[in-house]
Amino acid sequence: MNKPIGVFDSGVGGLTVVQEIRRLMPTESIIYVGDTARAPYGCKDAETLISHGREIIRFMLKKKVKAVVMACGTSSSTSYEQLCKEFPDLPIVDTIRPAAKAVIAAKPKECAFAATVATVKSGLFERLVKAGSQSNGSSEIKIHSRACPLFAPMVEAGLATKKNNPLLFFAAENYFADLRGKVDTLILGCTHYPLLTDALTHALGEIEFINPATATAKKINEIFPISSSEEKAKIKYFTSGDEKNFSKIAKFILKGECNPKKIIW
């Protein structure tokens, strides 16, 4: 059990999940994969995303991970079930299922769900919230789902490292201005979006954010309740793309150095 947890995303967004895992489970080691060479994931079809996920999980298994966290809403909503079938002995935790549970518990009357095109197209989040609310007899939660294809590439381009960036404000207004005053809660359905809360607040006003990273970290903590490691936790970062760009943005998110290695598949 003295093995790392694998965490992956299309790029730096999954680091927002790493932060939550570190907060809750500081002694667990992590292997992080940011598939930046093939980002963004949000415009890809399920078949392609399953194949990328499979390749990443095989890479992580060679690094002897004990579990995998899909720190990517897009993979979670398109590839989770298939990859669980393909790797039956590996615990896999996604972000969308824990997010749906968190929303059902929070019971907002009317909320917005921001995610990638592929996540919104899958309709998974809405289906899970509807089924969960019905089964526990809660009243229906009205969800306004919005695909935001510009957001993740903007974060990967480093635009979120600057506070109050007018380009992000403009994009957020474009996606959400009509919901201002209508919703009081926004679910950050893509792991890049917790880095955009200033732009989202600008567009929507003061609202509650639900960050699925919190519920995802809790879920992994349920599987490994006590730290199984006695050694000092280590995080190793890998990227399929440009190491310098990854490390520049990662440094901003993690508030510390990270020296990613290039993945050789």
List residues with catalytic annotation: 72, 190
Q: Please list every residue from 173 through 232 that binds ligand DGL, using CB under 6 A.
A: 190-192
Question: Which CB atom, from 29 or from 191, has the smaller least distance to ligand DGL?
Answer: 191
Least Cβ distance, residue 14 to ligand DGL (angstroms):
6
Least Cβ distance, residue 178 to ligand DGL (angstroms):
23
Q: Is the dihedral of CA 191, 89, 60, 231 positive or negative?
A: positive
Pattern 45-84, ligand DGL, x by CB under 6 A: ---------------------------xxx----------
- Distance of alpha carbon 152 from alpha carbon 61, whole angstroms: 27
Q: Is 249 in the site for ligand DGL (CB under 6 A)?
A: no
Question: Which CB atom, from 41 or from 176, has the smaller least distance to ligand DGL?
Answer: 41
- Distance of alpha carbon 83 from alpha carbon 171, whole angstroms: 33
The answer for 211, left when phi > 0, alpha when psi is -120 to 50, beta otherwise, is: beta
Least Cβ distance, residue 211 to ligand DGL (angstroms):
11
Q: Is 98 in the site for ligand DGL (CB under 6 A)?
A: no
- Distance of alpha carbon 128 from alpha carbon 169, whole angstroms: 30
Give the range of 3-11, 46-54, 78-86, 103-111 binding ligand DGL by CB under 6 A: 3-11
> Token pair of 254, please?
């993690």
Q: Is 10 in the site for ligand DGL (CB under 6 A)?
A: yes
Least Cβ distance, residue 203 to ligand DGL (angstroms):
19
Give the range of 6-14, 79-87, 140-148, 217-225 binding ligand DGL by CB under 6 A: 6-14
Question: Which CB atom, from 4 or from 73, has the smaller least distance to ligand DGL?
Answer: 73
Closest CA to 75 of 57, 97, 49: 49
Applying CB under 6 A, the residues found at the interface with ligand DGL are: 9-11, 13, 39-42, 72-74, 116, 119, 152, 190-192
